[in-house]
Structure formats: C-alpha cells, structure tokens
Structure 1
Amino acid sequence: MKQLVLCVLLIFSLIIQPKQINAALPVTPLYTTEQAIELYNQNLADYESNERLLINQYREKYGHLENSLAGKVIERAIWYMENGYSVYGHGLLSYHYHGVMDCSEFTKLVFGDFNFIITDVSRNYATVGTPVEGVKPINIDGKWKLEGMENLRIGDILTWWDFEEDGTKYISHVAIYMGELNGQPAVIGTAPDNPTALGIINNFDYWFGENLFSVQRVLPEGSTDPTKEFSKHIEKEPVIPESYVLPPQNEIIIPEVPEQPVNTNPIVMTNYGWVSVYELPSINSGKLGNLQFGEEAPYIRQYNKYWYEIQFENQVGYITTNSKYTNLKNEEPVEEIDYDGPVIMTNGEWVGVFKGPSLKSERLGNLSDTEKAPLIRKYNNWWYEVKYNGETGYITTNTKYTKLIGELPEEEYEGPVIKTTGGWVSIFGSPSTSSKKLGALEGHEVVGVISQYNNWWYEVEYNGKTGYITTNTKYTKLIGEIPEEEYDSPVIKTTGGWVSIFGNPSTSSEKLGVLEGQQAVTVLSQYNDWWYEVEYNGKTGYITTNTKYTQLIGEIPEEEYEGPVIKTTGGWVSIFGSPSTSAEKLGVLEGHQAVTVLSQYNNWWYEVEYNGKTGYITTNTKYTQLIGEIPEEVYEGPVVKTNGGWVTIYGSPSTGGEKLGILEGSQSVPLIEKYNSWWYKVDYNGTYGFITTNTKYTLVISN
C-alpha cells in the first residue's frame, strides 16, 4: 500500500502580498530537482500499473458524472496528478510559485479552480464546509472498514488524525473522495514518492481506515447532477507554477474551460488568508464575518483613511484599507477637487472646530466628512487655524482625524529665527531658568536669533531686549542658519556652559577667569594633550583640550624646525645624561618644547642636544614623538651595527674567546668579511674581532 506523508502545518506570522511572496517565500520541498526527476522516472512504471488502472476504473464506473460539478472536481484533481509536475513540500502558496505542495495545498488548489475558498492548513479542515454524519471506521477481523459509505458523495473531503505531543488529536492529512473502487473507498491526494507527488489510495484496511477523523462536504446539493449548472462555481484554468522543482517531463495539455465572467466593478479582495468584516467602521463593533482569500466584496466607497465600506452577504460592512491585508481592484477614478488654496478635511466622520487652540474653548461647530475648511496657517503642532463659517477657528492636526489638502505656504524671514514646536516657551533675561522671565513665545510667533549662546540657550532679540530661550528641539526649532563667526587666527570656544582658564597647565594653579557662551580666546599653541596655551586678557593662560568642554575653531599652525626634533606626546618626559634611567637626570621635556635629535642611539634611546649638553630621552612613542627624519649615517665601507642594546665583540669566533669589548647604541665597526654563518670578522680598535651574525642583535649597513 502506498504511504502518504502526513501534512505538516506551517504557521506564518505575517500576511504577505502575492508579489512579495513570489520574491521571498520560504518553501521546503522534499526533493531537489535532480532527485525529483530521478524519482519521477523510477516510479513511473508503478504509477502506470496502479494509478492509471484506478483512473480507468473510475472513468468506467463514474463516466456519467463527467459533466457534473463533482465529476469536474475529480477530473481536475486527476489533471494535476498527470500534468501538475509537483513535488511534495510545504510553503505558503508554494505550488503557485514553485510547484511544491502538501495535502491541504492540493485540496485548496483543486477546489479553488471552481471558486471555492477553503483553507490550506490541514488541521483547520474540520471547519471546512459541513460535516457528513454516519461515516466511521470499524474493525473487522483485524482490518478496518468504513461504515456508512452510502453517506459519502464524490468530491467530499476526508480527513485523518494524528496525536499532538500532549496526546490530543489533530487533523494531519486530507484528501478528496473519488468514489468506491474495488469494494473500497478511493481518495486522491498527496503521495510524496509518486512521480508527481500525487496518488490514489484504494486500501482502507489499516491506517487510512483506523485514523479517519471526519468527512467534510464543500460541494452543494446537485453537484453530481450533470444537468445542473452552478454560476458561482464555473471551472477556471488550472494553476501553472511560475517555476518548478520538477520540470515538466511531457507536454502539458491545458483543459478547455468556459469563458470566465469579467467583473469590472470596483471590488475589495484580501491579499492572503481572511480579513474580518465589521458592522461599523470600528474593530469594537459587531463582526459580520470574514472575507476569505479569493472572494470579492463589492466596493461601495472608502469611508475614511482606515475603512472601506463594502457589500458583504447582503449587508453593508466595513473592512480595513491596510494594504498589507486588502487591495481595491477596478477602482473608479476619483474626480480631483481643485481648491483655491490649502484646505483641511476630515478622514471620515466629523471633527470639532474650536474658537481657540484648546479643547476647553468654545466649540464653533463640527467639520463633516464632506466639508472643507480653508487653512489660514498651522498654529502649532496640535492645531490648524482655519476659516469656519466666517470665523477663525482651530481644528486638530492629528492625521488620524484630519488631512491637509494642498501645501502650507512657507514663511520667509530676513534672518534666522526661533519658533516653538508647539505650545509656548519662556524667554528669560539671562541664560538661566532662575533669571527674570521676559515673556513667552507661542503658536506662530518668531524671535530673531543673535547667536547660539551655548548648548542650552539661544541668545535672541525679544521686544527690544536681549533674551535667552532653550535650544531643546522638543520645544523650539531654528529656521534658517546662524552665520558662523570668522576669526583671524585659531580660537577656543566652549561647547556649552563655562570653562576655567588657569595661569599654568594645572587645575591647582591660579585661576585667571572663565570662558563662557559665545566668547572665544586666541590659541597660542597646544601645550600638551591636556592643555591649550591661550591669550587671555593680555596674559598667557591654559584651558582644557577636553572636547566635552572646549572646541577648537581653525587650525593651530604646525611649528617648523631646521632639523629633526623630539617633542612629548603630552605631559613631561625626563632627559638623562647617559642612556639609562638610573643615570643623572639633566631635566624634563614638556608641553610644546622640542630638543634637537643627534641620533637614535639604540632601540630605546634618542641622543639629543639639551642645554648645550648631550642627553638621552626615551624612544617610546607613548611618551615622545619624532618630528622630521634623522639623516642616515654615511660609511666608507660596510659596517656592523647593533639592532638595539649592546653586543659583545670577541677575539676569536667563539663566545668562549677573549672579550675585546662591546658594541652599543649608534656605534659601528668596519666589516672585514663574513667569517662563517655565525660570525662576522670586524676591525675593532685596530684589532681583528668577531661579532654575531644573528639579525636579532646585529645588522650590516652598506652604502
């Protein structure tokens, strides 16, 4: 007996429009194209000897039903089995786009070709159509039979159960009943190992008998009568996938179908699945039912931004306009109304118009969904100022209730101004909320900007006085640009608030004053990483380089030197009398001071000129920086130098030989020859010496 793989329920958290599905639909076919073609050829002979025989038996026994609705449904199911070239798998609308189907997708597909809207989720099939009573499995001598088969009708949907993890039953498989053949029920549905993943089951002795869950009837009364027509269920052309996992192995013959009636009237359809229809334009109102995928609801009008008014089951209903769930087809063009300037209209129903920009003020009336009110201006973020019945009124700017048709004319100002974002904002006599309050800025009022005093305050002109208003964009907005101040030389300004200026580069030194607001001081130099040297009230002062508190406007010109020099990276660095931290300390290098480099003595020390003496300072780039390049030394012939530190010179090519001396720092010795792989032969103080060739310690320089 062929075994059918039970359908797997796929739950999708998003309702996706068909065009989006096509682009990024998750699909899980059971086979690859190569496997599907191999399986097709491998099982074709078995299909010919089983399904083909059962098809012939069906047509011989039930040929008289060929022109009935039920007969057409079965023939369409057979057509997909012969011409659909599907492979078994799961996915939303998976056959339409990829030629992949499971049991519920197949059943939905067949009935959908006759304008029946049913689910593609197997476990929901107990709600499909109406249940057929009187059919149940019985066990006779260890084999299962169906009792009450006389109650079955061709085209019925049979469902089978399986267990959830908690032991409860759920529908795991569905198929279409095609009559009694060989004394047993016959159903057509998915069979993963068949050539096109579809097959006929004609043996209910075991699983298919024991696990029958229910019988559901979708076809109407009279569906087996070849003389009866059903105008709502005219046969459509079968679905041809946009792509295949199993490419068609033979020519596909499309069955002839009656010409489909074309609906040119505006209709509302769902993008996928079902969408609720309500009695009123509110999800809190009564629910009339669900508009299923593929169903068409006559469109009456767009009630407002959120709801379509439709004809639904002989009643007026309301369905969402959200394009994620619904779409309007055959929409009649709406005649555009030419307004003589911007106007305000409602999005539906009515909206109150008030005498002042407050819900507590007197109500002048209501603007209905067909009326328009000429716009005077947008008073603030919450209110439009409009003309209403010869008076000036105020109506909400909330786009849930109103819409602006046309554009707000832009106001022009001679210089940068400040406006409120809505409501009112206080203006103070100095940059502090505890200072005297000069007044308030509200609605459409503006004040001219003098400067941005600091991060928290604008300096503005208010009623002939200088005032201060918050820079917080939650309350104010700047229209236009505050012109940047120009300086002849680099300056320091605060980023906001005030910053102390000291007499020396230390917070514990004398405090000369503070820099605040739009004040600026001229920069003399960047003394070190932590301090700028500035000119303040005729004195030299020091201010922090911390960008949290200060900002440099312009560039400090780089100092030029005649030869290579050493500067600190910040702070101070000691200079010693010899290349050792335990040597005499000659002094320190700090701030913007520089010393001339004589040589790089070794990897750890520069040799420098300091106060007329030769000194040594660290090469560690954490503390010092070399500006310029140290000229390379020129030698008359090849020499040997150390890579840093010191290296011993021996009287013979052995570390056990006599020690003649050491080579260190910038010293070099003439190279006589490379004695062997381990030793150089050198001239050391007029004597032959030997020094290691190990490049970890020495290097040869040849000009």
Structure 2
Amino acid sequence: SVTELGAGAFILCENLTNVTLPNTISSIPYGTFAGCVSLKKIDIPSSVKTIEKEAFSMTGFTEFIVPDSVTTIGYQVFSDCENLVKVTIPKSVTTIGKAIFEGCSEDVTIYGEKGSYAEKYANKNDISFKAISSGQEDPSDILTGKTIAKLNVRKGPGTKYAKMGTLSKGAKVEVITKLPSGWYKIKYKGTYGYVLGKYVKLNTPQQDEKVIATGKTTAQLNVRKGSSTKYAKIGSLSKGAKVEIVSKLSNGWYKIKYNGTYGYVSGAYVKLDSEQPKPGEDEKIIATGKTTVSSLNVRSGPSSNYSKLGILTKGTKVEVVERYSNGWYKIKYKGSYGYVSGAYVSLDGSKGEVIATGKTTAGLNVRSGAGTGYKKIGHLNKGTKVEIVTKLSNGWYKIKFNSSYGYVSGDYVKLI
C-alpha cells in the first residue's frame, strides 16, 4: 500500500542486497538507495516514471536495466558506482540529468535503441554506447548457439511476459544480450524476443585461441563461465597453478585455457610471468608520451576496477613499459609501476608507420579503442581500403582514419 518513498529512505544501508518495490509508487526519490554498497538487485515496477538524482549513488550494481516505463533519470543517479559497466536505457526515457556516471568506471556503457535520446546523451557526453535494437548491433557482439530443448520465446525476460512463439530443439539462435537474470535477448522473426539462457548452448570457438600471456594464481581461485562473479562456477585452481591467458578483458578478468576449453578468472588473483622485472633488472621502456587530460588516475592494475595509486596532471610525461589489449598502459611510477588508460596518453612520435593494408569485408564501425566497449568515431563501407599501423593481440587493428587513428575488428578486414 506504500505510495511514496522519502528522500534517502535507505541511505547507507550497507548490507541491503535485494529490493522489490510495489507498483503503487511513481518515483524513486533523491538518494533513496545512496551508499547501499551491497545492493545488486532491484525489481522496479512499471508504475515508476522518474528516478531522481543520486537515487542509486554508490551502490554495488555491475549492470542496471531501466524499465520501459521510466521517462526521467536525474542528476548523478549512478555516481560513484565503481563496479557498474552496463546500463540499459529504454527509448521511453526523454530526460537524463548531468553526470549520471560521475566517479564510475571508464568502461561503463549505455545500451539502448539506435536514434534514442539515450544515444544522443551518450554521444554528447563521450560515453560508450551500444545499440541493442533496430538491427544496428555490431556483428562482433552477437553470440550464436542452439536450443537444447523446445523453448518458449517471450516479450520480456521472464515467464510473466506474453509468449511470442516457440523454438524447436536444435533451433539456431542469435543472442544480442545476456541479462543478469539468466535470460537472453535474441533476434526473432525480424524483431526481438527473450529466452531462458539455460536452454541454449552457445557455440564455442572453432579454432584454438592464441595464448597471449602466462601466469600463476596467488590464491585458490574460482573458474567461471563468464567474466564476473555472477556467472556459474565451472571449477577452481589451487594457489600457484599455472594459467594460460588468451584474452585480457577491460574489467580486469582473464579468459584462460581450462580443461580443454575456456574459462574466466579474476586477474586480481593472477601474477603474470612478465608482470615484474627480475631482481636488479628494470623493465624496458617501449614508448613515451604525455597525458592529455587534467587528471588521470594511476591504478594498481590494467583497468578502472583496480585501486587508485595516484593522479597525473595534464602534460605529465609517462614512460610506457607494456601495452595491453584493452587499451591500458603499464608505466613507470614513483620508483615502481602503475597502470593508466592509453586513451588519455598521447605517445611521442606516434606517426604510425603502415605495416599492412587491407579491405573491409562488411560495413565496419571505427572506434576510439580496441574493443566494442569504446566509443564509435566513424564507419567504413564494405570494400574500403584500410592502412594498418598496429595489430593488437585481441584481433583488433589500429588504423589510419581521418588524419588521425582509430580501431577496427580484424575479423572484418581482409589483408591485401
């Protein structure tokens, strides 16, 4: 029977983990859940139209789905949510306040419909955006698989939503988004539908992935199906176990070889073999440059999920000893080493000699970094010639683009 929540109703309830709101309220007021650092799940009813400023500031969400009923998102709604990387905003939202991700990870991405207000907001505020409808998905984001049983397709991610149709056992599915609830958003009959993910077997890579680094675990470590603790555990590694890494992800997790296939572990508990120099031996400087922003965080590992060691002011000289596939640099810092985002470092003498040329095999997005999580800065038509200056270990290419540089997926470039 509750019809209204007061401002800051649950502020600093640090042990609150799960909330279900009644369908008798129309807004989530100012600071309602601010400081609820353990809050990772909330059921917001369709009666809610407004999420007011700082409502979810300093909460524990990694992903957040704004319901289709909401029209207004307030100022700094998700500020200081350090683990937040994905927010889905529907086309119903027509007002978004300033700095909604103030103090959040640099990897945070808005998911929404092409042409929506959410996309305009993302572009205006230099926030990564991914289209999840209107047929605009980046082909490298789509997963494929087959159903392992007869499966209902629904209008939303849950059995309470209306059934749109049925897939027979063994039917091919194209997965657009894997939701935290375990449901998948899929392409279905020219539009989109939702299926329960446990009845879909996703395709595994058809070829062995190249090992890009090796290391050892620093503690007993869970191996999971995906790159966060929300994914199912598929095994564990004892302390000191050797790991072979095939991909370093932007959230600090590693994709590794495991029992003849692949798994994911937190990089916080893996010491890379190349991570520290041998006693008395300094790491070789591979590049130098200067910071391009007023303040750049230096962290203890190669992503914004790691703790902050300090700050570099604009124009500070940096000495780079290693580059990572997620765009981060390992640098010399205060007699030791630290990590910074390469997006905010201009390398000296980076004239970018062309090492190869090729042509695009499909329409291809050009991005500001080496991954689909980076901002789109342009587009190349099929058959466009590209000049490649760097081939990255994750399969992406750094190319010459519009008198500067950009990044494209190498899967859609044929070398010539």
Q: Normalising by the residue count of structure 2, what TM-score does the alignment of the two structures yield? A: 0.23
Q: Normalising by the residue count of structure 1, what TM-score does the alignment of the two structures yield? A: 0.16
Which structure is larger by alpha-carbon Rg, 1 or 2? 1
**Greater percentage in helix:** 1
